[in-house]
Structure 1
Amino acid sequence: MSSKKATLTILLAILASCLAQAQGLGITQISTERLLLSQETRLYLSAPALPQNLTNPKEALEIWESGDGVNYSQRPISAVSARPHDDMGISFFLLLDNSGSMWTDIDGKDTQDSSALRVEQAKAAAKDFLGALSPLDRAALAVFNTRYWNASLPGSAPEDIARALDELRKPASEDAYTELYLSINRALADFSAEAGRRVLIVLSDGENYPYAQRTGKPNPESGTASATPAELIDSAIRNGISVYAIRYGAQKDPLIGGIAGQSGGRAFDAMDLEGLSSIYDTIRRDVLNELAVDYKASMDTGEKRWVRVTLRDSAGARYSSERYYYSGTLFGQGAGAPKAWYFLLVLFAALAWLLLALFKLERDTDKTGIRLLFGPKNQNTRFFALSGPQTIIGAAPDADISIAGNPSLRASHATVLFDEQKNVYTVVSDSPITVNNQTVTKKHLESGDVINMSGTVVVFDEALAKPKPKLKPRK
């Protein structure tokens, strides 16, 4: 009886969200990346009802926020951006089912025609999708059956993901189960460190079919671990990730559509390659057409907050969409009323900045470069020289400056450009970074600038390269 109630609760909970999105307004993702520094929250909206001829979209929107889900206060809108992902790119995480049934045709029958296999059609559609991505987009791939594994980490090149797809093999009978919910849970955790707009696309041809539950034996990889739809919804919302589900074939998981809808995504059904390709195109097009709305968040206590968006179209009709989000944690504690020790942290930070300003860094080289101030273990204070017209900084082994150990640092996180004619260095990034505590995607660098890339902090000092003045000979 409790299982039926849980199912009914999920289905009812997504009804308002799905209706709002179908009728012209839906909140697809809530980003709290700038909440701690600037008290701003960003909403990504699906808003087809927004009048197209507005010079100021703020006029059609209202944002309301609550700390208890009951008492709401209107919040000031800082900025509204149409199609923000054209400039920022999108992070896509593909989660692909490689269970035993994926190695049959759409009718569930064995076939010698490899092109008719579900897995081959899923691979072909994924490759087409990867080939259509913008250079600013980022992608990753994980594959699951009884087990789960990251085939290509976030930030991988599309061609690397395509090669990983080609390496898929039919699983043995013990590995042929569909650990759908547990795999979604792991993918959400693996994807949570990515910045910006995050879209998890799950493709599966069946219901959640856990190994431990069906066999009575522990899963060879995850033991007796499990995940419920409610836990997946909460994890997606907590991590700010939209889940899009593709149900491939006649057998469908009854709850995955609810998981997708509650996370801000959608569920689709497909029966062939053409349908799969069309769905991938629809997902990317829908995300590209989103609206980004930045607003000043309230100072309500507690970790959980509710936000309501209202929109008035050109005919005067009103649309509304509501979701909750988590306002973040500080050292594992919910963001509530300020405590005395918070101010000690601020004082400590101020002293650190003062020391930097007074003493800068010990200059043990005469080259232009950056020095790692805060980073992975055993790498602090490391110096990197800058040379050539551009220097790529990231976690990839082939980056010009490769800094491993920070899971939030992307493969190519930022690039330092050098204009030799103007003798100017500029840092650029596909997603926001901070320079001297200001969020930017591009900035001309000056000596002493502090650059924060998702927790990896470096200091730039051009003075290192300036030649020492020659002393005039004494007469």
Structure 2
Amino acid sequence: MILLPCLWRCRRADISLYFPRPDLVSGSPFYKDPGIWRDALIYFMLVSALASPYLYRLSAAHERSGRDLVLVLDASGSMAESGFDRNEPDKRKFDVVKSIVSDFIKRRYDDNIGVVVFGTFAFTASPVTYDLNSLNQILDMVDVGIAGQNTAIGEGIAQAVRSLGFGHAKEKMIILLTDGRHNSGSVSPAEAVEEAKKKGVKIYAVGIGKKGEFDEEILKRAANESGGKIFSAIDAEALKSVYKTIDGLEPSPLRSEDRTERRPLYIYPLLVALALLGGRVYFVSAYPWRRS
């Protein structure tokens, strides 16, 4: 009975709601609040960045002027010796060779180039390709001893001839580099050179180091019988000159393949999201009474 007067008064009173922040409750629709749209845009941009969008561009096949060329590199144990570069005497012979070969590759834009590495055995580090940037990355990962400590020159030549079998240029060439004597492998240098002659592959043989350290007779026979040339380099400067000489050889027509280039685009929505988020943080910290 005591509550009856209260019920009567409550029915006559206006209904009221109490909020500590009455400015947040306005009569305007939510979609008129710019903060809502800003936060939605931040969310959308972050989701777009996480989706990792890409732009694809197809490069059609076109005629290129060059040759199929395989670089055959000796990675046996002796290539770890230092002193080949007089300017950097502590640098390993193999690292000096890789640096010079890498510069040579960059200049041979019109060639299809592959890399074969040999030691106790031989393997193809990279098939012939016109993607010279990827080729240099592969070359950078090759190191002394990756194919064993011995020197299988015949295996290196034979593996290069097999790699050239997949190329399409009229002119095919091997640049063989070694600092030692043939002492390993199931294929002799003579057998490998004979196979190169049958396939029309020229061999340019490069012996590095002092006379007598590398097998000059084998290199001379390989070059002469295949129609190539023999070079020798006692140090890094001489080796640079050798590759400059080879760089002047006449090119032959070569047709490239279709290639698809992929460009990542996620950075653009990510930058927009970060800019908006940074603006929001600044606004809230600079004007705390106007949070939106």
TM surpasses 0.5: yes
Of 101, 116, 121, the residue aligned with 1:142 is 116
Match of 2:66 among 89, 93, 105: 89
Partner of 2:128: 154
Choose the corresponding residue for 1:117, options 76, 83, 92: 92
8 Å CA contact retained: 1:106, 1:271 = no
Whole-Å separation in 2 of the counterparts to 1:124 and 1:118: 10
Mapped partners of 2:189, 2:116: distance in 1: 20
Matched, 1:239 2:214: no
* Cα distance in 2 for residues equivalent to 1:115 and 1:163: 23
Q: Is the 8 A contact 1:146 1:210 kept in 2?
A: yes
Given that residues 223 and 230 in structure 2 are in contact (C-alpha distance below 8 angstroms), is that contact kept between their aligned partners in structure 1? yes
Aligned-pair CA distance for 1:163: 1.2
| Aligned residue-pair number | 191
State the alpha-carbon separation in 1 of the partners of residues 64 and 141 from structure 2. 33
Deviation, 1:171, is 1.8
Task: Tell me, yes or no, if structure 1 residue 268 matches structure 2 residue 245.
Answer: no
Q: Which residue of 1 aligns with 2:241?
A: 278
Amino acid at match of 2:220: G
Match in the other structure for 2:82 = 105
Give the drift of 1:261.
Answer: 1.3
Question: Which residue of the partner structure matches residue 248 of structure 1?
Answer: 208
Residue 428 (structure 1) aligns with: none
Kindly state the Cα deviation for residue 393 of structure 1 after the two structures are TM-superposed.
Answer: 4.8
Note if contact 1:199-1:244 (Cα within 8 Å) is conserved in structure 2: yes
Counterpart secondary structure, 1:116: coil
* Higher Rg: 2
Instruction: Tell me the C-alpha RMSD between the 2 structures.
Output: 2.7
User: Cα gap change, 1:114/1:285 in structure 2, threshold over 3 Å: closer, same or farther?
Assistant: same
Structure 2: distance between partners of 1:286 and 1:187: 19
What CA distance in whole angstroms lies between the structure 2 residues aligned with 1:175 and 1:283?
28
Which structure has more relative contact order (CA 8 Å, sep 6+)? It is 2
Distance 1:252 1:87, change over 3 A: same
Structure 2 CA distance, aligned partners of 1:239 and 1:263? 10
Cα separation, partners in 2 of 1:238 and 1:169, compared to 1, 3 Å? same
Q: How far does residue 118 in structure 1 lie from its aligned partner after superposition?
A: 0.9
Which of 149, 154, 166 matches 1:193? 166
**Displacement after TM superposition at 1:87 (Å):** 6.0
Distance 1:139 1:233 in 2: 20
For 2:244 and 2:143, the matched residues in 1 are separated by 26
Is residue 184 of structure 1 aligned with residue 157 of structure 2? Answer: yes
Q: TM-score, length-normalised on structure 2?
A: 0.59
Aligned with 1:178: secondary structure?
coil
User: Helix, strand or coil: the match of 1:96?
Assistant: strand
Amino acid paired to 2:243: Y
Identity of aligned residues (%): 24
Cα distance between partner residues in 1 of 2:157 and 2:133? 24
Aligned to 1:26: none
Contact 1:114 1:120 (C-alpha < 8 Å) held by counterparts = no
Instruction: Give the conservation status (yes or no) of the 8 Å contact 1:90–1:138.
Output: yes
CA distance in 2, matches of 1:101, 1:268: 19
- Structure having the larger proportion of residues in strand: 1
Q: 8 Å contact 1:115–1:121 — kept in the other structure? A: no
What do the CA deviations read for 1:276-299 (whole angstroms, capped 9, x no partner)? 1111111121335x9x9xxxxxxx
Q: Secondary structure at the match of 1:177?
A: coil
Encode CA deviations 1:133-169: one digit per residue, 9 max, x unaligned: 13x2211111111122211111152211211121123
Q: Decide whether the 8 Å contact of 1:202 with 1:243 is kept in 2.
A: yes
Shift of 1:119: 0.3
Contact 1:192 1:241 in 2 (8 A): no
Contact kept? 2:157, 2:193, Cα under 8 Å: no
Residue 206 of structure 1 corresponds to 180
| CA displacement, residues 199-241 of structure 1 (integer Å, 9 cap, x when unaligned) | 1101100110116xxxxxxxxxxxxx22241x22321121111
In the alignment, what sits opposite 2:105?
130
Cα deviation per residue 1:83-118 (whole Å; 9 max; x = unaligned)?
Answer: xxx9631222101110000000247xxxxx786311
Q: Say whether the 8 Å CA contact 2:112–2:129 is kept in structure 1.
A: yes
What's the secondary structure of 1:252's corresponding residue? coil
Q: CA deviation at 1:170?
A: 3.2
Contact 1:201 1:243 in 2 (8 A): yes
- Asked whether the 8 Å contact 1:128–1:277 carries over to 2, the reply is no
Q: Which runs of 4+ in 1 moved over 6 A?
A: none
How far 1:131 sits from its partner (Å)? 1.2
Equivalent-residue separation in structure 2 for 1:141 and 1:228 (angstroms): 18
Q: Distance in 2 between matches of 1:140 and 1:235?
A: 18
TM-score, reference length from structure 1: 0.37
Which residue in 2 is equivalent to 1:227?
188
Mark the runs of 5 or more structure 2 residues left unpaired by the alignment. 1-62, 263-292
Q: Hey, what's the Cα distance between the residues in 1 that align with 2:89 and 2:116? A: 22
Runs (5+) with no aligned partner, structure 1: 1-85, 108-112, 212-224, 293-391, 401-475
Distance 2:89 2:123 in 1: 24
* CA offsets 1:292-349 (integer angstroms, 9 cap, x no match): 9xxxxxxxxxxxxxxxxxxxxxxxxxxxxxxxxxxxxxxxxxxxxxxxxxxxxxxxxx
The separation in 2 between residues aligned to 1:244 and 1:234, in whole angstroms, is: 15
Give, in whole Å, the separation in 1 of the partners of 2:195 and 2:224. Answer: 14
Distance 1:123 1:114, change over 3 A: farther
